[in-house]
Amino acid sequence: MAFELPPLPYAKDALAPAMSAETLEYHHGKHHNKYVTTLNDLIKGTEYESQSLEDIIRNTAGKPDKKKIFNNAAQHFNHDFFWKCMKPGGGGKPTGELARKIDESFGDYETFRKQFADEAGTHFASGWGWLVSDGSKLKVISTHDAENPLHMGLRPVITCDVWEHAYYIDYRNERPKFIDAFLDNLVNWDFAAQQL
Ligand code: FE
């Protein structure tokens, strides 16, 4: 079955000014959509056509001749996950079980926040910043290009897209300002808590 571009979980102008309607127009409507249509073209008539998105990612990871399928499948997953990681009026400190888990894994929220901002802010070139769970602890990692933690035995909890197309309209070259806005005004901790 062909994959479809999932609708955004909020109105296009709902995240402004931290993320503008214009950014979402291009990022969701053009970039994400292109990954979905390219993936559908690539898997048509292949064994992957009947597989779930997660299975396609795991089954093509690390195979040089399947790199195009992996890239587009992983980018579809990563963007779908990223939209859910944000909400209007989000950001700030998490509460409850997730807050306890962050304290246990990093010492305190401030240490986690600095580690995430540094990792995502200084990641070289295109990629993704992640808060992941290895089953017992939470960790901050970054991945290159379309790479995704699913096939690394890690469960994604939060991700932030640090490709230039994620922030250039709103922040130009100032990626760290975008990461600050993501952490302080956008991140959806309720969604993150459901991933534990
Ligand atoms: Fe993106």
Mean pLDDT of all residues in 108-124: 97
Answer yes or no: is pLDDT of 116 > 80. yes
Residue ranges of E strands in 70-154: 127-133, 138-144
Report whether 86 contacts 79 (CB < 8 A).
no
pLDDT tens digit string along 53-96? 999 999 999 999 999 999 999 999 999 999 999 999 999 999 99
Q: Does domain 96-194 have CATH number 3.10.20.30?
A: no
If you measure from the C-alpha of residue 107 to the centroid of ligand 1, how many angstroms do you get, rounded to a whole number? 31
Tell me the CA–centroid distance for residue 99 and ligand 1, in Å. 27
Give tens-digit pLDDT for 118-169: 999 999 999 999 999 999 999 999 999 999 999 999 999 999 999 999 999 9
Q: What is the average pLDDT across 35-40?
A: 98
The domains of the chain are located at 21-84, 96-194
Beta-bridge partner residues of 159? 130
111 Cα to the center of ligand 1, angstroms: 26
For residues 31-38, average pLDDT: 98
Choose the CATH number for 21-84 among 2.60.40.10, 3.40.50.2000, 1.10.287.990, 1.10.1370.20.
1.10.287.990
Give 27 Cα–ligand 1 centroid separation in angstroms: 6
Q: CA–CA separation, 114 vs 129, rounded Å?
A: 13
Ligand 1 centroid–CA 63 distance in Å is 23
Using the mean position of ligand 1's atoms as its centre, give its distance from the Cα of residue 72 in Å. 11
Q: What b/e readout covers 20-53, taking b as 16+ CB neighbours within 10 angstroms?
A: beebbebbbeeebeebbebbbebbeeeebeebeb
How far apart CA 186 and CA 179 sit, in angstroms, is: 10
| C-alpha 164 to ligand 1 mean position (Å) | 8
Contacts of 34 (CB under 8 A, 6+ apart): none
Q: How far is the CA of 173 from the centre of ligand 1 (A)?
A: 15
User: Is the entire prediction scored with pTM above 0.95?
Assistant: yes
The rounded Å distance from CA 79 to ligand 1 centre is 6
What per-residue string of b and e applies to 179-191 under the rule 16 or more CB within 10 Å gives b? bbbbbebbbbbeb
Residue 1 has pLDDT above 90, yes or no: no
Query: What pLDDT does residue 16 have?
Result: 98
* Residues measured by CB to lie within 5 Å of ligand 1, the ion: 161, 163
